Structure formats: structure tokens, C-alpha cells
Structure 1
Amino acid sequence: MLRGFATISFWADDLEAARDWYAELLGVQPYFSVAGPDGRAGYYEFRAGDYQHELGLIDARFRPAGHAAGPGGAVMYWHVDDLEAAVARLLSMGARVHEKITERGEGTGFVTASVIDPFGNVLGVMSNPHYLDVLAKAAPR
């Protein structure tokens, strides 16, 4: 039933600031945008990583009724090659620690951390050997 990660969406009260922050973090500009019914920017979308997954930024005025305005819910983790450097960079850009770097099972290679971006969203990063295995198998020979 679940075929793969398609898009993760983050909410931002200041959509333009969020666009600029994520453009700096990812090193690319959004490839897609949509205006809201009032003509103001409502959504920006980036492609990120080895599989060009989608990271969407949505103006918080379109948050569904009852959706919490602060950090909460599930944490989606992005694989990074150097977890400590990734966390340090995120913190230097104004994110704050949500969960410190944590080894998940001694010697397994699974290590996670998460931050809260300046817009209140939880951004997870991790070292994930399964990700690297899948990537190696998908690489053209």
C-alpha cells in the first residue's frame, strides 16, 4: 500500500522567511510554487536528496482546523552523511535542539537527532545504514 515517501509538508507563519531558510540549507531554490486564493504565496516546494524527495512549505494560514501550531506529531528523518556536522549547521542557522544525537541500538549504525526549525517544525536527521544499502543497490552499474 505505501509505495514510498512522496512529500513532507512544513507550515510557516512567515512563508518567505521559511523559503529563504530552506533554500540556504538545501543549496537550491524551490522548483515549484503556488499562490493562495488571495494571490499571495501559499506554497513552495523543493526537491532534496538522492531521490529528489519533495519538501513542501505551506503558509500557516492554510493549516487544517485543529492542527497544532507548534512542534508535534511524527518525525521524518533525512539521512545525512555526517550527523554531527548536520546538527551543528542546523543549530548555527537558528534551529534549536528537539532531541539530541541519540544512538538507536548499540553498534547498529542508526543514530538520530532532531531540531525545531525557526518556523516551529520538527526536522529529523539521521545516520541510517539501510538508506545507504538501498542507495547502493539502486545505483546504475
Structure 2
Amino acid sequence: MLRGLATINFYADDVEAAKDWYAELLGVEPYFEGPGEGGTTAYYEFRIGDHQTELGLIDRRYAPPGLPAAPGGAIGHWHVDDVRGTLDRLLAMGAAPYTPLTEYGSGFVTASVTDPFGNVLGIMYNEHYLEMLGLR
């Protein structure tokens, strides 16, 4: 059965710009590059967070047929220690609001943005996540 996220893929028309944007946001360079047509790079992959989850950036030319152009669908939420601060930073970097900062009680706070490349990026403070890491 499902055991945890292995890779989250985001698509971008300009995968080089997406790589630069995410490298600035994450404070690390991608550890892997995949070749595309004509000597270009079609894929960049970062390993980030407590579990080194993979975030893949893929040239939109390689997107599955029928992938909607507009943001939508499931929202994957990355745990952050400060939702407000992270949200403010994302917005300052050119992301657009998608869902507002919402406090659910019991230690859960969420928000999401659309990155400059049309992908939905969710952020969340999650007490359960910290309990599982033994950091609470």
C-alpha cells in the first residue's frame, strides 16, 4: 500500500527558470538533471526536507496528455515551521495566492500558492508530522 511520497512532479514551460526559482526557494541546487531533446535539460530533481522527498521539475513538453493547463486538482502540502512566514516569502518571490492561510485547530495550519509556472504548492504546519519525527 501507500508508504509515503517518493516524488512530486511539477511541470513548467521554462524548466530552467523553474529550476532557478526553486533553487532560490529551497536554498539548494538540484542533485539530478535529465536530458531532453536537442541537448536541453528536460528534468531537474531536488531532494528536500526531513525525508529527502524528491521534487521533480519537468519541461511541460513531456507532460502527460490531457494535463490541465490551469492550476487545480490535488494539493500536496509540505510541512513548514512557519506558515505565515513561508507564505509571505512565496508571495514575495512571485507566487500567487491559491488558498488562504487557514487555521483548523489542533495544530493544523494550511495555505497554498500557485508558483510562477502554474503549479499548486501547498504548505502546512502539522503537529502529526512533528510527532512522527519525534520533534514535538
TM category (shorter chain) comes to over 0.9
- 1:18 maps to 18
- 1:77 maps to 77
- 1:110 maps to 108
1:121 aligns with 2:119: yes
Q: Classify the secondary structure of the residue corresponding to 2:67.
A: coil
Structure number having the greater strand percentage: 2
Q: Alignment length, in residue pairs? A: 135
**What percent of counterpart residues are identical?**
63
Query: Which amino acid counterpart does residue 25 of structure 1 have in structure 2?
Result: L
Pairwise CA RMSD: 1.0
Give how far 1:37 is off: 3.6
- 1:134 maps to 132
Which 5+ residue runs of structure 2 have no aligned equivalent? none
TM-score by length of 2: 0.96
| Larger CA deviation: 21-30 vs 62-71 | 62-71
TM-score by length of 1: 0.93
Query: Which amino acid counterpart does residue 108 of structure 1 have in structure 2?
Result: S
Give how far 1:38 is off: 3.0
Give how far 1:39 is off: 2.2
* Structure 1 residues 77-103: Cα deviation after superposition (integer angstroms, max 9, x where no partner): 000001100000000000010001012
Distance in 1 of aligned mates of 2:49 and 2:92: 21
